[in-house]
Structure 1
């Protein structure tokens, strides 16, 4: 994996201390996040409720209010605010003898997946999930560019029968906000209330 990609992951709050290895999978499985990820087009879900619960603090100590806001939104929770989640689980539906073998039988054929996905084997690792559409993002483990592989999105409703190319991992990560960017969005939201 490119160092620039690891740097982006770290800037987004990921821990890359154990992100080493010879393959994309080994590197990805060494990354951890202690919080969800927020898309730059996030619409502020939950901010009104947070404000209502902490309005006195907002008026008396805005700095503490924003500190608690960040602690709340960047904690390890899955309260549905429209965020994405870091993942690192394998999905190998076309590999003989794998735990997932046959999971897509009757839904989609391997040749159909190959029309969109580049790679010698159709073995995947889920890199992110979300509450939105699509709700799963994958990388093919045999992507021809393992240093910056393509991210593909699909939804549980149409699992792999509809799959879309979302560009390189490095570009995909640009969709997420750092804590600082999130704070700017939140401050603008409250200012315009």
Structure 2
């Protein structure tokens, strides 16, 4: 993968220490996140911010720095509370590879030719890189993407699994949707400082 992608992964909190550059699959499976990811449209909903403020109002009044430190720790810990976030994952999905665990899983649901109308790649072997609570809820990369340095990300949803697939753009552009901790904090801090009326 290109350097800009690895840099962005680090910026949004990912660990790339085990990335060796041997293959797209190996690199994607070696990336680790110890926390969920928040997209740039988190600002539209601010899931969990009111509740955190209400539960910690006294701390906010006494020590704002500690309040915001705890807020970051709360939102960026290893949890699955439904805050509209995405989760980095790296599991394989190989429905067209004979003898694989999920071979034939799409039988009767969608034809390989239909997927090939959207997905570029010799073999349709996928790796899921993210899932979310929203729609769509799965984001995949084809492991034989013609541009392994900056592959295309595709989305689908469990309700229409692979019968509806959208091109989400390059991995580099896809990663730009996620907030760094500083960006996340700026959004929530702005909301609490300027919008909360019960301070």
TM-score class, shorter-chain normalisation, is over 0.9
Question: What TM-score comes out, normalization by structure 1 length?
Answer: 0.99
Q: Distance in 1 between matches of 2:52 and 2:130?
A: 26
Which residue of 1 is the match for residue 94 of structure 2? 92
The reply on whether 1:33 has 2:55 as its aligned counterpart is no
- Matched ranges for 1:1-193 at <5 A: 1-42=1-42, 43-191=45-193, 192-193=195-196
Q: Distance in 2 between matches of 1:168 and 1:153?
A: 12
C-alpha root-mean-square deviation of aligned residues, in Å?
0.6
Matched positions, count: 193
Structure 1 unmatched runs, 5+: none
Q: Distance in 2 between matches of 1:30 and 1:96?
A: 25
Q: Deviations over 1:9-59 (max 9, x none)?
A: 001000000011411111111110000000010121011111111000011
Q: Distance in 1 between matches of 2:110 and 2:10?
A: 36
Q: Distance in 2 between matches of 1:185 and 1:20?
A: 35
Question: What TM-score comes out, normalization by structure 2 length?
Answer: 0.96
Q: Distance in 2 between matches of 1:35 and 1:148?
A: 24
Q: Which secondary structure state, in structure 1, belongs to the residue aligned with residue 89 of structure 2?
A: strand
Q: Which secondary structure state, in structure 1, belongs to the residue aligned with residue 131 of structure 2?
A: strand
Q: Distance in 1 between matches of 2:182 and 2:12?
A: 10
Structure 1 runs of 4+ with >4 Å offset: none
Shift of 1:188: 1.2
Q: Distance in 2 between matches of 1:181 and 1:20?
A: 29
